[in-house]
Amino acid sequence: MATHPASHSLDSMSFDNVFTRELPADPESSNTRRQVLDSCYSRVSPTPVAAPQLVAWSAEVCELLGIDPEAVHSDHFVQVFAGNRLLPDMDPYAMCYGGHQFGNWAGQLGDGRAINLGEVLNPAGERAALQLKGAGLTPYSRTADGLAVLRSSLREFLCSEAMFHLGVPTTRALSLITTGESVERDMFYDGHPQNEPGAVLCRVAPSFIRFGNFEIHAARQEFELLKRLADHTIKNHFPLIELGDTPTTNAYIKWFNDVCERTARMIVHWMRVGFVHGVMNTDNMSILGLTIDYGPYGWLENYDPNWTPNTTDAAGRRYRFGQQSAIAHWNLLQLANAIYPLINDPDPLENALSNYATVYASEWNQMMAAKLGFKVWDEDRDAPLITELHDLLPLVETDMTLFYRGLADLAAKRSTLQDNAGDKGLISPLLDAYYVPEQLTNDYRARLDAWLRAYSARLNQDGLNAETCRENMNAVNPKYVMRNYLAQLAIDKAETGDFTMVHELLDTMRHPYTEQPARQAFAEKRPDWARQRPGCSMLSCSS
Ligand code: AMP
Ligand code: MG
């Protein structure tokens, strides 16, 4: 593969590849599928593609990397981020990791279609690993083809950037490039394979290390390697933890506590915005507490804690919305088991796991207080109110996003609503959130009205100025989320070569909390045609 010596804004990126420098590589250099023992990664180059074409990019990620956003329009950029050309200091590799999938140990998984290009140190001294997803076979590709299709790559591109702007910890996306080649996929694994356009996504994160990176070495009893990987992770990504020349168990305990807390905070954000990851296997859990591996994810439209978009998980609904915190806890337990040999004492690990639950509960309470516009959380007063709200929301089909935006209007206008129109008045700002108006029976309305009155009285106790209250609520309750049906409409157009909706969606999601009247179409609840359509409410792992 040729490198490109000519001067270019990309060439100003400064690489510092600590992962490959500090950790042992697979001694075998052939790109064949196999078990890779005693190594953290295998060096492997991306497979060149025929006719790369830039579809979308993130100007903010360019800036993060110190690249001039104009550089994306050059042929050089497209060749590099399609995997056709390496920059001089890139050192491409695929990581070795394992994982628990749907509750069972799955052995070696690894980067089967992701190839890390290297780690950039940006002008602010921040580290950013660049990773191409869909860049071809690696030793970890198992029985699959190493490729990705436009549909799923677009979903990941749009959603990871949207999550960033929503304030949710996440990996980022620099660019999305179609390959000009087609890829065969049987979307619902039902004997109907189709050719789809191939794509390569460039993802960006301080590190792509997952829980599964530690699990694989523990499972193989590669304890020296486990320690080296943990030391590497702490030294480079947890700078507040003092490691010293001979790390003590204390450092590992602090680190695990930190991972637990970051994970708790990430899940609370998911619950705040109504995000369902869909495949919370331990290989899809970032050690940095970032949302990673956007596959069959979804956004709650009608609030239903039992919902998952992932048809592959339809039977057990293991990864349903309401179970995400419990699953993260279970995943952390698997990580605790994996790193146990570094600590050799169950107590501090158990303490960290129970601290996860404490941090989660307290963060969740704060989050709910903020969503409802309360100044501070008061357990005795607020817990019953929130329990009743969560009992009410799933009773009739209620769009979560629209409900909370409507609630902010109600909070701001509550005195006039109450005085003027009796029972009808309080519900009026919320009517738009209901999918099936006939479900609003008298009984339901009476129960909702009682709640709204109690809620309104609770707001009065805080005595916040009406406009301040609305602004506070609208700063945590998004107006725009990456609704599946919108992503699907953008995909339908993109598959015909029209990328305008992709760009419009991305642009809208840059300011998800701000009213954008010209973009009202992206704030509407799911239309009826999208209720059962594949890609809108049902997604499989096929990508
Ligand atoms: P996921 O559930 O998508 O996170 O993937 C689980 C494992 O399968 C990871 O090790 C992926 O790298 C691998 N994988 C998924 N799709 C492909 C593919 N098309 N080619 C090679 N490996 C894949
Ligand atoms: Mg994965």
- Own/partner long-range contacts of 458-461 (Cβ < 8 Å, ≥24 apart): 458/372, 458/374, 458/381, 458/382, 458/385, 459/373, 459/374, 459/411, 459/414
Please give the helix or strand (H or E) that residue 63 lies within, else none.
Answer: helix 59-65
166 and 135 belong to one structural domain: yes
Residue at which a domain ends, from 315, 347, 370: 370
Residues 6+ apart with CB under 8 A from 442: none
Q: Report the atom number in ligand 1 closest to the C-alpha of 281.
A: 2
Residues 6+ apart with CB under 8 A from 226: 214, 217, 218, 338, 339, 341, 342
- Residue 234 C-alpha from the chain's centroid: 22
196 and 54 belong to one structural domain: yes
* Dihedral, 424, 430, 432, 433 alpha carbons, nearest 10: -130
435 and 463 belong to one structural domain: yes
User: How far does the centroid of ligand 1 lie from the alpha carbon of residue 187, in Å?
Assistant: 14
344 and 413 belong to one structural domain: no
Helices 150-166 & 484-494, crossing angle to 10 degrees? 140
3-state class (DSSP) for residue 119 = strand
Length of the chain measured in residues: 543
Establish if 58 belongs to a structural domain: yes
**pLDDT at res. 131:** 98
User: How far does the centroid of ligand 2 lie from the alpha carbon of residue 283, in Å?
Assistant: 6
Query: And the tokens for 393?
Result: 């929301």
User: How far does the centroid of ligand 2 lie from the alpha carbon of residue 269, in Å?
Assistant: 20
Q: Report the atom number in ligand 1 closest to the C-alpha of 138.
A: 21
Note the ligand closest to the C-alpha atom of 136: 1
Quote the domain boundaries for residue 34. Answer: 10-208
427 and 341 belong to one structural domain: no
243 and 271 belong to one structural domain: yes
Mutate to test the pocket of ligand 1, among 34, 104, 113, 145 (most ligand atoms within 8 A of CB): 113
**Known active-site residue 498:** no
Establish if 68 belongs to a structural domain: yes
Mutate to test the pocket of ligand 1, among 141, 187, 196 (most ligand atoms within 8 A of CB): 141
Establish if 152 belongs to a structural domain: yes
Residue that has been written with the tokens 């963060």 in this structure: 363
CA dist list (Å): 51 to 48, 57, 181: 9, 18, 7
Query: And the tokens for 143?
Result: 């029985």
Establish if 223 belongs to a structural domain: no
109 and 43 belong to one structural domain: yes
320 and 276 belong to one structural domain: yes
Q: Tell me the C-alpha distance between 91 and 115, whole Å.
A: 10
Q: Report the atom number in ligand 1 closest to the C-alpha of 145.
A: 20
Note the ligand closest to the C-alpha atom of 101: 1
27 and 140 belong to one structural domain: yes
Q: Report the atom number in ligand 1 closest to the C-alpha of 114.
A: 12
Note the ligand closest to the C-alpha atom of 97: 1
Residue at which a domain ends, from 330, 351, 370: 370
The domain total for the chain is: 4
**pLDDT at res. 5:** 41
Mutate to test the pocket of ligand 1, among 283, 294, 543 (most ligand atoms within 8 A of CB): 283
Mutate to test the pocket of ligand 1, among 35, 140, 171 (most ligand atoms within 8 A of CB): 140
Establish if 538 belongs to a structural domain: no
Q: Report the atom number in ligand 1 closest to the C-alpha of 284.
A: 4
Alpha-carbon dihedral sign for residues 424, 425, 430, 432:
positive
Q: Which protein residue has the closest C-alpha to ligand 1 atom 14?
A: 112
What does the buried/exposed string (b/e) look like for 473-500 if buried means 16 or more CB atoms within 10 Å of the residue's CB? bbebbbbbbbbbbbbbbbbeebeeeebe
Residue at which a domain ends, from 370, 397, 422: 370
* pLDDT string in tens for the chain (543-residue length): 444 444 578 988 999 999 999 999 999 999 999 999 999 999 999 999 999 999 999 999 999 999 999 999 999 999 999 999 999 999 999 999 999 999 999 999 999 999 999 999 998 999 999 999 999 999 999 999 999 999 999 999 999 999 999 999 999 999 999 999 999 999 888 899 999 999 999 999 999 999 999 999 999 999 999 999 999 999 999 999 999 999 999 999 999 999 999 999 999 999 999 999 999 999 999 999 999 999 999 999 999 999 999 999 999 999 999 999 999 999 999 999 999 999 999 999 999 999 999 999 999 999 999 999 999 999 999 999 999 999 999 999 999 999 999 999 999 998 888 765 555 678 999 999 999 999 999 999 999 999 999 999 999 999 999 999 999 999 999 999 999 999 999 999 999 999 999 999 999 999 999 999 999 999 999 999 998 888 888 898 888
User: How far does the centroid of ligand 2 lie from the alpha carbon of residue 25, in Å?
Assistant: 21
In terms of Cβ atoms closer than 10 Å to its own Cβ (0-12, 13-18, 19+), residue 448 is buried
320 and 382 belong to one structural domain: no
User: How far does the centroid of ligand 1 lie from the alpha carbon of residue 160, in Å?
Assistant: 18
> Which of 317, 243, 319, 255 lies closest to 289 in space, CA to CA?
255
Establish if 330 belongs to a structural domain: yes
For residues 475 and 165, the answer to whether their CB atoms sit within 8 Å is no
Establish if 3 belongs to a structural domain: no
Note the ligand closest to the C-alpha atom of 112: 1
Strand spans (E) along 48-113: 53-57, 93-95, 98-101, 104-108
Q: Report the atom number in ligand 1 closest to the C-alpha of 146.
A: 20
Q: Which protein residue has the closest C-alpha to ligand 1 atom 15?
A: 112
User: How far does the centroid of ligand 2 lie from the alpha carbon of residue 181, in Å?
Assistant: 23
285 and 399 belong to one structural domain: no
User: How far does the centroid of ligand 2 lie from the alpha carbon of residue 111, in Å?
Assistant: 8
Please give the helix or strand (H or E) that residue 275 lies within, else none.
Answer: strand 275-276
Establish if 219 belongs to a structural domain: no
189: phi > 0 → left, psi -120 to 50 → alpha, else beta; which?
left
267 and 351 belong to one structural domain: yes
Q: Ligand 1: which residues within 6 Å by Cβ? A: 109-113, 140-141, 144-147, 279, 283-284, 293, 295, 541
From the list 26, 231, 258, 283, the catalytic residue is 283
- Whether this prediction's pTM lies above 0.95 is answered by yes
